C-alpha cells in the first residue's frame, strides 16, 4: 500500500456495529476506501452505501462469500463485524491471506482458538485490533495509568456490575452464534476492562448463570454472578445482568491498599485513604493516543501511529476468562482454574503474559 493511496478495505458483516465502524473508517482523514462488502442480508449493503455515501463497492451476499471478498479484491485490510462464533473462520481466513484486521469483540470464542489467531496474526506480521472501545475512554485510560503507577497502592480487589435490558435478539439468542449469551456479549467488555486496567491475567473463576429474561427462558446465558481470581492475589466480583427493565447501567470499582477508583458517568473518582478524601481526577487524552479503535487501526496502517491499544492478546485473555466463567456455571459453580483450560489445549498462562 503506497502511503498516499487510500487503504483498500473489505467489510464482513454490515449490521448495526459494522455499519457504524465502516462509517468511521471510511470517513477517516488519512483515507480508506470500502472496496468490497459482504452481508447475507442484502438490504444491509444498500444501507451501507447510503451511510458511507458511495455504492461502487463490490457486493457479496453468500455466507461463505467472505472468502471471495478476500480473494478477489486486492485488499489491504478487512473488518469483521459478524456474529461471535463465525469470527474465528472469518479472521483466520483474512490473516492467512495476509490482511490486516479490525474485528468486533469478542475477538474469537474460546482460549484455544483465540491463542491460535493471536499467534497467526503475529506470524503474519499483520495489525490485528479488537473493537474494545473502552481502551480509548479517558476515564479508563486514566484509571489504568493510576493503577500502573501505584497511586492506589497494591490492588486487592474489584467489583464490576453491568446490567442491560438484553433479550438475546436474533443470533444473540442462538447458541451456535452467540458463544455464551450476555456473558460473552456485553459482559466481554467488562472482563476486558478489568484485565486491561489492572494488567493481570485470569487465574480462576466460580459462579452461577441463569438464562432468564424476565419470565422467558432463553437458549443462551443471560445473567451471571461470579467470583474471579486474577494474578497477584487480586480477586473480585463480576455481575452481568440481562433482565433489568430500562437502560444500561454499570458500576466498576477498584480497591487498592492506599485508595479506590470508582467511576461516575464519564468521571473518575479517586479516594485517597491516607487523606480520607475524594478527588475527581482531571482527564485528558495522552499525546498521540488514538480516539477510537478505528482511528488506531487506520493510523497504524498509515504509519502515523505505533501502538496498538487492543492487540489480539487482549482478546485471548478475555476468551480465557469467559471460558472459565461459562464452564464454572455449567459445573454448578465449581471453581475452574484457567491453567487447567490452557493445559487441556497445550498452553500455559505464560503464553498470555503481558
Ligand atoms: N463494541 C461494541 O460496543 C459492540 C456493540 C454492538 C455489537 N458489537 C459486536 O459487533 C458484532 C456484530 O453485532 P451487531 O450488533 O452488529 O449484529 P447485527 O446482527 O446487527 O450485524 C451482524 C451482521 O452480520 C451479517 N452476517 C451474519 N453472518 C454473515 C456471514 N457469514 N457473512 C457475512 N455477513 C454475515 C448479518 O446479516 C448482520 O447484518 C458482534 O461481534 C457484536 O458483539 C459490538
Confidence grade of residue 191 (pLDDT, cut at 50, 70, 90): very high
Average pLDDT for 315-334: 98
Rounded distance from Cα 251 to ligand 1 centre (Å): 26
At 247 the pLDDT is 83
pLDDT at 2 over 70: no
Alpha-carbon distances of 188 from 78, 111, 117, 249, rounded to whole Å: 22, 13, 18, 15
Write down the pLDDT at residue 232.
98
Res 69 pLDDT > 80: yes
Domains recognised in the chain with CATH numbers = 7-132+298-311 (3.40.50.720), 135-281+313-352 (3.30.360.10)
Each residue of 265-277: pLDDT tens digit? 999 999 999 999 9
Cα 177 to Cα 170: distance, rounded to the nearest angstrom: 10
pLDDT tens profile 233-267? 999 999 999 999 988 999 999 999 999 999 999 99
- Decide if pLDDT at 91 tops 80: yes
Whose alpha carbon is nearest atom 7 of ligand 1?
17
CA–CA dist 125, 134 (Å, integer): 25
Cα–Cα distance between 314 and 187 in angstroms, integer? 15
Between the CA of 323 and the centroid of ligand 1 the distance, in Å, is 21
Ligand 1 close to Cβ of residue 298 (< 6 A): no
Neighbours of 233 (CB within 10 A): 12
pLDDT tens readout for residues 196-238:
999 999 999 999 999 999 999 999 999 999 999 999 999 999 9
Distance 18 CA to ligand 1 centre (A): 6
pLDDT in tens, 105-160: 999 999 999 999 999 999 999 999 999 999 999 999 999 999 999 999 999 999 99
Q: 310: closest CA among 188, 180, 204? A: 188
pLDDT at position 342 is 98
Of 67, 81, 179, the residue with max ligand 1 atoms within 8 A of its CB, to mutate for a pocket test, comes to 81
Question: Using an 8 Å Cβ cutoff, are 178 and 84 in contact?
Answer: yes
Whether ligand 1 lies within 6 angstroms of the CB of 179 is answered as no
Query: 36 — phi, psi (to 5°)?
Result: -155, 155
Determine the atom of ligand 1 nearest the C-alpha atom of 12: 33
Per-residue DSSP letters for 25-81? HHT-TT-EEEEEEE-SSTHHHHHHHHHHT---SEEE-STTTHHHHHHHS--SEEEE-
Mean pLDDT of 55-79: 98
Q: Give the pLDDT band (50/70/90) at residue 4.
A: confident
Tell me the H-state helices in 159-221: 175-178, 181-184, 186-198
Residue 310 Cα distances to 96, 139, 147, 286, 292, angstroms: 20, 16, 18, 16, 10
What's the 95 CA to ligand 1 centre distance in angstroms? 19
The rounded Å distance from CA 84 to ligand 1 centre is 8
Q: What is the pLDDT of residue 1?
A: 60
Ligand 1 atom nearest to CA at 171: 19
Query: What is the per-residue pLDDT across 168-190, written as a single tens digit (0 to 9) for each?
Result: 999 999 999 999 999 999 999 99
Residues 6+ apart with CB under 8 A from 179: 84, 85, 106, 109, 110
- The span from the CA of 180 to the CA of 171, in Å, is 12
* Cα 236 to ligand 1 centroid, rounded to whole Å: 30
Cβ(13) – ligand 1 distance below 6 Å: yes
**Binding site membership of 90 for ligand 1 (Cβ less than 6 Å):** no
pTM score, whole prediction: 0.98
Q: Does residue 41's CB lie within 6 angstroms of at least one atom of ligand 1?
A: yes
Strands 128-131 and 100-104: parallel
Which residue among 10, 12, 16, 89 has the greatest number of ligand 1 atoms within 8 angstroms of its CB, and so is best to mutate?
Answer: 16
What would the mean pLDDT of 91-101 be, rounded to a whole number?
98
**Could you tell me if the CB of 83 is within 6 A of ligand 1?**
yes
User: pLDDT value at position 354?
Assistant: 87
Amino acid at each position: 500500500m503506497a502511503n498516499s493511496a487510500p487503504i483498500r478495505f473489505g467489510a464482513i458483516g454490515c449490521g448495526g456495529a459494522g455499519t457504524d465502524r465502516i462509517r468511521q473508517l471510511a470517513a477517516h482523514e488519512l483515507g480508506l476506501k470500502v472496496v468490497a462488502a459482504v452481508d447475507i442480508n442484502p438490504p444491509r449493503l444498500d444501507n451501507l452505501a447510503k451511510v458511507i455515501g458511495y455504492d461502487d463497492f463490490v457486493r457479496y451476499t453468500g455466507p461463505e462469500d467472505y472468502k471471495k471478498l478476500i480473494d478477489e479484491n486486492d485488499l489491504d485490510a478487512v473488518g469483521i463485524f459478524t456474529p461471535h462464533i463465525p469470527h474465528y473462520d472469518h479472521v483466520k481466513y483474512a490473516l492467512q491471506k495476509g490482511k490486516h484486521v479490525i474485528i468486533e469483540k469478542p475477538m474469537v470464542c474460546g482460549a484455544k482458538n483465540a491463542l491460535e489467531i493471536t499467534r497467526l496474526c503475529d506470524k503474519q506480521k499483520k495489525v490485528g485490533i479488537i473493537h474494545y472501545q473502552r481502551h480509548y475512554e479517558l476515564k479508563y485510560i486514566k484509571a489504568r495509568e493510576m493503577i500502573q503507577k501505584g497511586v492506589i497502592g497494591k490492588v486487592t480487589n474489584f467489583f464490576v456490575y453491568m446490567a442491560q435490558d438484553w433479550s438475546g435478539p436474533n443470533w444473540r439468542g442462538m447458541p451456535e452464534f452467540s458463544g455464551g449469551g450476555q456473558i460473552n456479549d456485553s459482559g466481554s467488555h467488562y472482563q476486558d476492562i478489568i484485565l486491561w486496567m489492572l494488567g493481570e491475567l485470569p487465574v480462576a473463576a466460580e459462579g452461577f448463570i441463569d438464562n432468564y429474561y424476565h419470565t422467558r427462558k432463553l437458549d443462551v446465558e443471560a445473567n451471571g454472578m461470579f467470583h474471579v481470581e486474577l494474578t497477584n492475589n487480586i480477586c473480585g466480583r463480576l455481575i452481568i445482568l440481562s433482565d433489568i427493565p430500562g437502560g444500561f447501567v454499570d458500576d466498576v470499582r477498584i480497591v487498592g491498599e492506599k485508595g479506590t477508583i470508582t467511576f461516575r458517568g464519564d468521571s473518575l473518582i479517586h479516594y485517597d485513604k491516607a487523606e480520607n478524601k475524594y478527588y475527581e481526577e482531571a482527564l485528558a487524552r495522552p499525546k498521540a493516543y488514538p480516539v477510537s479503535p478505528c482511528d488506531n487501526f487506520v493510523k497504524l496502517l498509515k504509519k502515523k501511529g505505533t501502538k496498538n491499544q487492543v492487540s489480539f492478546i487482549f482478546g485471548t485473555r478475555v476468551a480465557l476468562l469467559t471460558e472459565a466463567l461459562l464452564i464454572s456455571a455449567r459445573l454448578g459453580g465449581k471453581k475452574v482454574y484457567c491453567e487447567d483450560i490452557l493445559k487441556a489445549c497445550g498452553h500455559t498462562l505464560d503464553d498470555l503474559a503481558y
